[in-house]
């Protein structure tokens, strides 16, 4: 969830996500790869970083709802 939340806050480049989450670069890389495979995150064209898909936005909403219970 921390990687999705970081992207939602506008930190969409790899190094920004790494800095925002405090995660090891290898962990960030694995999470981004998993999130892309799950259809929650897309890589922007060129070197412009990552963005949430509609499915990724919904996953964040559901996660917040579950957390509030």
Compute the distance between CA of residue 63 and CA of residue 30 in angstroms, rounded to an integer. 20
CATH value at residue 15: 1.10.10.10
- For the cut 80, the answer to whether the pLDDT of residue 47 exceeds it is no
CA distance 34 to 7: 15
**Domains: count for the chain:** 1
Identify the domain containing residue 32 by its residue range: 2-67
What is this structure's pTM?
A: 0.87
Q: What is the pLDDT of residues 2-46, one digit of tens each?
A: 999 999 999 899 999 999 999 999 999 999 999 999 999 999 887
């Amino acid at each position: 969830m921390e990687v999705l939340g970081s992207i939602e806050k506008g930190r969409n480049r790899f190094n920004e996500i790494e800095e925002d989450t405090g995660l090891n670069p290898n962990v960030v890389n694995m999470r981004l790869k998993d999130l892309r495979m799950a259809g929650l995150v897309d890589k922007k064209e060129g070197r412009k970083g990552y963005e949430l898909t509609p499915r990724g936005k919904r996953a964040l909403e559901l996660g917040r709802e579950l957390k509030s219970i």
